[in-house]
């Protein structure tokens, strides 16, 4: 009887492990990576922080050639690194009565003007008070389910300290249609930004791939390694001695795209705490960037919809301080 119980318990344990972990991620060490510490190698190749990599190594969830290893182990060419990385625990967003500025709405979708400082969806460190919490209350839970319970209705995102327009899908059909337009680059998104310095030309294009930063996995960078194409078009609206007011149009929509591209060409967005310089912060604690215009074909009705947001007060104040 005890033996049968142990077998059943073993089966339950195996089932639980299968539910908690996906198949191991595998990586084969190439010559250029030879000699790197195991935790540093895993942070680079498995998309986790170095601290998280060290924790997984200590727990035996990252192995080298099928055996446990120390985080300081110098990897060798042709080593096989296997990583059993538990999925992050998914939060469930709940409705909250938070004001949200709706500029367009029908039964299929809406366009809202996100304020600066508001996170788009719940995440570790920001479990509530987000735009999604506000939208769930406003729409009485009727949002597209394609992106799960944490990001219902969210078709695209903007950063916490970037203000401006976001389109939100209420139905899965609308979500799929909007996502297709983004993939086909027919979805128009324009921004305004204040950047450091003066541009040499009146307009231009940055065509440079973006991927995770080589050493800081929380940052993005222009890189050829594990990157995706990224294209940003810019046009000068005004200039002063130290700053330029730009209009920017996204051809692609990579994480931190405008911020990374502007820093890459030597004109970081003013106030950007990650890619910018305090010298050009204009006293702001976040990037001076807002999503001002959006244009798309309604995925259900076929109507051409264009929405433009009013310039926010913080941005107008920054323009004055910059002499623009």
Distance from C-alpha of 200 to C-alpha of 194, rounded to nearest angstrom = 15
Contacts of 128 (CB under 8 A, 6+ apart): 93, 94, 96, 122
- 2-83 and 185-324 agree in CATH topology: no
pLDDT of residue 21: 40
Asked whether the beta carbons of 49 and 217 are under 8 A apart, the reply is yes
Q: Which fold has domain 2-83?
A: 3.10.290
Please say if the pLDDT value at position 20 is more than 50.
no
The answer, yes or no, to whether residue 5 has pLDDT greater than 50, is no
Among the listed ranges 26-35, 121-130, 286-295, which one has the minimum average pLDDT value? 121-130
Label residue 301 by pLDDT band (50, 70, 90): very high
Between 277 and 4, the more confident residue is: 277
Query: pLDDT tens digits for 222-233?
Result: 999 888 999 999
Task: For the chain, give every domain's residue range.
Answer: 2-83, 91-184, 185-324
The span from the CA of 69 to the CA of 53, in Å, is 12
- Check pLDDT > 90 for residue 24: no
pLDDT tens, residue by residue, 111-167: 999 999 999 988 777 788 999 999 999 999 899 988 777 788 999 989 999 999 999
| pLDDT average, residue stretch 100-109 | 96
Task: Return the H-helix or E-strand segment holding 236.
Answer: strand 231-239
Per-position DSSP letters for 298-316, written without gaps between them? -TTT--EEEEEPPPPHHHH
Instruction: Answer yes or no: is pLDDT of 235 > 60.
Output: yes
Q: Please, which contacts does 209-218 make with residues 24 or more away whose CB atoms are closer than 8 Å?
A: 210/254, 210/255, 210/256, 210/257, 210/260, 210/261, 212/47, 214/44, 215/44, 217/43, 217/44, 217/47, 217/48, 217/49, 217/50, 218/49
The residues annotated with a catalytic role in the active site are 159
Distances (CA, A) of 106 to 49, 112, 133, 181, 313: 42, 12, 19, 19, 28
Residues 6+ away with beta carbon under 8 Å from 236: 199, 201, 202, 203, 244, 245, 246
Query: Which tokens go with 124?
Result: 């570790």
Q: Characterize the bridge pairing of strands 62-64 and 101-105.
A: unpaired
62-78, pLDDT tens digit by residue?
999 999 999 999 999 99
Q: What was the pLDDT predicted at 91?
A: 56
Q: Would you place residue 96 in the very low, low, confident or very high pLDDT band (cuts 50, 70, 90)?
A: very high
Percent of the chain with pLDDT over 70: 91
**CATH of the domain spanning 91-184, picked from 3.40.50.720, 3.30.2350.10, 1.10.510.10, 3.90.380.10:** 3.30.2350.10
Contact 153, 176 (CB under 8 A): no
Q: Give me the torsion for CA of 187, 192, 196, 199, rounded to 10°.
A: 70
Of residues 108, 116, 54, 109, the one with CA closest to residue 83: 54
User: Tens digits of per-residue pLDDT, 210-226?
Assistant: 998 888 878 999 999 88
Decide yes or no: CATH 3.90.950.20 for domain 185-324.
Answer: no
Segment 246-256 mean pLDDT: 95
Which structure tokens are listed for 59?
């727990």
Tokens of 210: 């973006």
**Token representation of residue 155:** 């078709």
The reported pLDDT for the residue numbered 104 is 97
CA 66, chain centre distance (Å): 34
């Amino acid at each position: 009887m005890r033996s049968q119980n142990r077998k059943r318990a073993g089966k339950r344990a195996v089932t639980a492990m299968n539910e908690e972990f996906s198949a191991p991620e595998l990586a084969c060490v190439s010559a250029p990576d030879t000699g790197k510490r195991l935790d540093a190698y895993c942070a680079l190749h498995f998309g986790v922080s170095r601290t998280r990599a060290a924790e997984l190594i200590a727990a035996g969830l990252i192995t080298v050639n099928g055996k446990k290893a120390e985080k300081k182990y110098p990897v060798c060419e042709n080593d096989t690194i296997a990583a059993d990385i538990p999925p992050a625990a998914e939060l469930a967003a709940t409705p909250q009565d938070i004001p949200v500025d709706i500029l367009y709405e029908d039964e299929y979708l809406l366009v809202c003007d996100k304020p600066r400082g508001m996170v788009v969806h719940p995440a570790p460190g920001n479990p509530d008070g987000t735009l999604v919490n506000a939208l769930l209350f406003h729409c009485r839970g009727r949002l597209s389910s394609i992106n799960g319970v944490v990001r219902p209705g969210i078709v695209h995102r903007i950063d916490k300290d970037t203000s401006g327009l976001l389109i939100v899908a209420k139905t899965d059909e609308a979500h799929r249609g909007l996502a297709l337009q983004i993939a086909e680059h027919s979805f128009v998104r324009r921004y305004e930004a204040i950047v450091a310095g003066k541009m040499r030309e009146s307009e231009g294009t940055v065509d440079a791939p973006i991927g995770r930063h080589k050493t800081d996995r929380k940052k993005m960078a222009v890189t050829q390694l594990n990157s995706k194409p990224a294209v940003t078009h810019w046009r000068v609206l005004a200039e002063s001695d130290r700053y330029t007011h730009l209009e920017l149009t996204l051809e692609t929509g990579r994480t931190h795209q405008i911020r990374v591209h502007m820093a890459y060409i030597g004109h970081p967005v003013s106030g950007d705490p990650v890619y910018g310089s305090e010298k050009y912060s204009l006293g702001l604690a976040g990037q001076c960037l807002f999503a001002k215009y959006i244009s798309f074909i309604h995925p259900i009705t076929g109507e051409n919809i264009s929405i433009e947001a009013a310039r926010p007060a913080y941005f107008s104040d920054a323009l004055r301080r910059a002499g623009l």
